[in-house]
Structure 1
Amino acid sequence: MKKRKRSLGVAAAGVAVTAGCLAASPAAFAAPASHGQIDHWINQSLVVMHEKGIPGSHQGIYRNLMRESSGNPTAINKWDSNAKAGIPSKGLMQVIEPTFRAYHVPGTSTNIYNPVANITAACNYAAKKYGSIDNVNAAY
C-alpha cells in the first residue's frame, strides 16, 4: 500500500482450505493466477471476513486486486515512494509490511504473500479507513 493513502490473513473454523494455499511461499506463485484460483482465494477471504464482521464483496475485492497486482500473488512494487523508503507493497492487494501486521486478521497466515491473508488484511484496512473495500476505486 502507498504510505500516504494506502497501507493496508485462512484457517478459520468451518473453512475448507488447502494446505498449499495457506502455507505457500512466494516461490510457489511465479505469475498471475488463473481466474478460478483468484475466485477461490477471494471466496476464502469472504468467509473469514464474514466471520470477523469485515465488510466487502467479491466484486470489490476482485476489482482492487486486479488493479493492484493483475492477480500475481508475488507482485512487489519496486518503484513507488514506499519501495524507495524500503517498504515495498507486496502481494495480491499490494500491502506494505507495517500495514499487513497492523491489519492482519487472526486465524489467517502471517505470510504477506499468502493470498487469503493478503486479501483479508487489505479488506480489514479498507473497512477501517473507507468503510469497505467496495468503496475503494483507486490506489488506497
Structure 2
Amino acid sequence: MTDINSDYGAVTSGTDRAVSGLPTRADGKPAGPGVDPRLTAAVGDTDEQTRKGRDKVREGADKAKKYTKGLSDIQDEAGRGVRDVSNKSSMPSMPSVPQSSPAPQAAAPTPTPAPAPSMPSTPAPSGLATIDPGLLAALVEASQDRAAVDAAEGIVPGLDGDPASASSATSPQNPQPLDVSQVSLEEYPGGALSKEQIAGVIDQALTINGVPNDPALRAQWQELYQHMAAGESGGDPNARNLWDSNATGAMMPDGAYANSSRGMWQCIPSTFAAYHMGGTSTSIYDPVASAAASMNYVMDRYNVSPGGQGLDAFMARQGVGTASYQGY
C-alpha cells in the first residue's frame, strides 16, 4: 500500500498530464468521397462521446486542483502558526505562585491603652500663693451670683452704665441716614434700664446731636426724654408696639410687624433709618442709637434747635411735668 502524504504539487501535475493526454476533438468536416456514411456517423458518435468524457475529466481535474490548492493553503497557515508559537516559546515563563489555604485567623488581642503622658510638675512662680480649693469655689459662686443680679438690672460686666453706650460715639456726629433694609432688629442684651442708666444714655445722645454742655439746658432735655421713655416704653429698650396704626406689614423675626414702633423711644424703622446718627449702631433696639435718632427727628419735625429754641413748646406738648403723655 502506498503511503499517504501531503505532496499536493504531485497531485496537481498528474492531473494536468491526464488532461493533456485526452484525444482531440474531430474537426466536424464532412468525410471525403468513397467513405461509407455509416462509418462517418459512427466516428461522429465516437467523437461526441469522447468530447463529453473529456469535458467531465477536465471538470473533475479543475475541482481536484482547487481542492488541492485549498489544502495547501491550510497547511501553510498551520505552519506559520506553529512557527509563531515556537518563537514565543523562547520568552521566559512567569513563575507560578503556589496557592495555599488561608491560615486560621487568631483572635485580635485586646489593645492595652497607652499610659497618659505625665506632665512635669512646675513650681509656682515666686510671689504666688496657693488658693484653697474651697475658697476658690466660693469666689466663683459669688461671682456668678453677682453676674446674675447685674444681668437682671441690665448691667454687663466691664461696661459702665448702659451696656450699649460703650459702642457709641461720645462726641458730636453728623446725621447718617440708612436704607430701611439696613436697620437691624438685633435686640438689646439687657432688661429695662434704671433712671440713672437712662440718664447716661440721654446725655450721650445729646452730645452726639451737638447739644451744648450747658447744665440747665441739658437738665431740660433730660426731663423731656425721661418723660418720653416712661410714656413710650416704660424704660424697656426691647419694647415693641403691636396694636397702633403703625403695626402693619409682614411679621418679622423679632415678633413685631415690619412697620411697628420699636425701642425705648418707639421709632418706626423708616424714621429710625431716615434720622439715624453717625457713631451709633444700626439696631433700632440700641438705647443710644434710638435716643439719638429720636432727638434728630424732634429737632427737624418740631423745630427744636440744639441750643434749646422751641424746646419749651415741645415739652408742653408732651405733657412734661404732668401725668399726661402724648405720642410724637
* TM-score, scaled relative to structure 1: 0.74
Asked whether the 8 Å contact 1:29–1:72 carries over to 2, the reply is: no
Offset at 1:93? Answer: 0.4
Runs of 4+ in 1 over 4 A off after TM superposition: none
Residues 1:11 and 2:172 aligned together: no
Q: Deviations over 1:48-89 (max 9, x none)?
A: 12269xx97111111111110110000000111111343100
Q: Deviations over 1:73-131 (max 9, x none)?
A: 00000111111343100001000000000000111111111101101101111111112
Q: How many residues align?
A: 118
Identify the range of structure 1 (108-117 vs 130-139) with the bigger mean alpha-carbon deviation: 130-139
Asked whether the 8 Å contact 2:238–2:263 carries over to 1, the reply is: yes
Partner of 1:40: 200
Residues 1:105 and 2:277 aligned together: yes
**Distance of aligned partners of 1:60 and 1:77 in 2 relative to their CA distance in 1, 3 Å threshold:** same
Aligned AA (2:292) = T
**Larger RCO (alpha carbons 8 Å, 6+ apart):** 1
Aligned AA (1:28) = P
* Aligned counterpart for 2:242 among listed residues 61, 68, 78: 78
Identify the range of structure 1 (55-64 vs 108-117) with the bigger mean alpha-carbon deviation: 55-64
Q: What's the RMSD between the two structures over aligned residues?
A: 2.4
Identify the range of structure 1 (34-43 vs 90-99) with the bigger mean alpha-carbon deviation: 34-43
Query: 5+ residue gaps in structure 1?
Result: 1-9, 15-24
Aligned AA (2:301) = K
**Distance of aligned partners of 1:87 and 1:48 in 2 relative to their CA distance in 1, 3 Å threshold:** same
Offset at 1:12? Answer: 4.0
Counterpart CA distance in 1 for 2:204 and 2:284 is 16
Partner of 2:222: 58
* TM-score, scaled relative to structure 2: 0.33
Q: Deviations over 1:35-54 (max 9, x none)?
A: 111111111111112269xx
Offset at 1:29? Answer: 2.4
Counterpart CA distance in 2 for 1:105 and 1:51 is 14
